[in-house]
Structure formats: structure tokens, C-alpha cells
Amino acid sequence: MNDLVKCNCKYCEGGIEFDPSQLEPGENRLIICPHCECETPIRSVPPVLEPVISEAEKERYKLVCFMNVIHSEMYERARNHFFGTGARQSMFETYKWIYAMRKMTEKTGVELKLNDADEKELDSIGSMAVDTLTNTQIKEAHEEAGKEIVAIFAKERPQGETEVEANIRKPIPTEVKREVWRRDEGRCTKCGSRERLEFDHIIPVIKGGSNTVRNIELLCESCNREKSAKI
């Protein structure tokens, strides 16, 4: 026996019981109200369909949740080192953590979740920090940031990571960097600058890009940030 559903009459608000199996999903039908004997419309309720979530979407959700936590921790470390709150004041550490945040965003495709005020502050302290560093210190900060990223993924990622996630953890091999530097003649491939150069994935790792010479190019920090904003 099918379960009856109760619907209120349009005119007297009395309860009308009907069998929903007799109606097609979304169908309207007029029924005589047993209380006021007026015809009142009833409508079947469409079946609720559970959303189908693919394995790739589940993995992406896990990665986004993971990255939100990591971004938050890096942001706090950068601020603490800049203002000297809870950590020694260090422009090197400030820049290193801000650079690591940007590289993590570039590698994973997961954007930083900051409000406009925090984003503005991050850009401001990042600019002030980098202005105090020499080119050698900036290069060292980039290397240290790369090590931090590798350590984070090696330690924090759960078991059963995908191939893409495994590639994110892998640093660019030294021999690949050397060949890319030789090919690009130590210049940004976009503007030709020799300052604050970075090794950038042409196809992001999160989209299947690899750590090969063909997929790596030299970009200055400014051109790399501009590219990341468009991805």
C-alpha cells in the first residue's frame, strides 16, 4: 500500500490526503476538497536526486581543504615575522613565507582565501620585505620556500595521494633548472628581466604539467604573478 500525502486545501486549508504515486513528477491535478467541496490544485513533489560526485571532485575537495589550512598557517607566519609578534622579526622569513604561499597557489591552482584588506596587507608587507633583501638573499629565500613546500606535502598529505599530488611535492631537478637557465639565457621569457627570476611551469602541475625542460621557463617575479592571476 502506498503512503498517502497530506496537502492543504487552497480555500479552506483543510487537509487533503492523496496518493503521490498516481501523479507524474511535477504534475498538477485538481482534487475535490472533502471539507469545502471546492476544486483545489495539488502538485506532486519531484524526486530528490543525490548529486553524483566523481573521485576527481572528491580529491580536489580534499586538496582545497588541505590548502586552506596551509595558506592560513603561512599567512600567520609571514605576518608574525614582519611585525615581530610571537616570532623574531625577519624580512627574509616574511618574504620566504609569502613567496611559498604564492608558489603553492601556482602549483595547486587553489587560490588564497583572503579578504581585500588582508590581501592588500600581504602585498604591502611582501613589497617592503623584498626591498630590504639582496638578490642573493632573494634567491636563498626561494630555495628555502621550495624546501618548506616539499616538507609540507611530504608530512601533511594523507596516504593514497594521486599522481598529480605526488608531482606537486617533487622539486624541479637541478639538471632541469640548469638546462632551462641555459636555454632562456638567464632572462625572463616575457620581459627579458634578469632580476628575481623564478622557474615556472608552463602547464601547471595541478593540470598535469611535469618537471621537464619543455614545461619549465624562466619568469621574473612580476611576470609570474601576472600569469598566476590569469590562471
Q: What is the mean pLDDT of the chain?
A: 79
For 15-164, where are the E strands, in sequence order? 15-18, 28-32, 39-43
| Residue segments in the chain with a per-residue pLDDT below the cut of 50 | 1, 48, 158
What is the pLDDT, as a whole number, of residue 24?
72
What is the pLDDT, as a whole number, of residue 90?
93
What is the pLDDT, as a whole number, of residue 136?
92
What is the DSSP-derived secondary structure letter of residue 23? S
To which H or E segment does residue 217 belong? strand 216-220
Type of residue found at 27: E
Q: Give me 117's grid cell.
A: 584588506
Q: What is the pLDDT of residues 205-224, one digit of tens each?
A: 766 677 888 889 999 888 88
What is the pLDDT, as a whole number, of residue 64?
81
Residue 107's SS3 state is helix
Residues of the chain with CATH 1.10.30.50: 172-231
Nearest to 92 by CA among 148, 131, 141: 141
CATH code for residues 172-231: 1.10.30.50
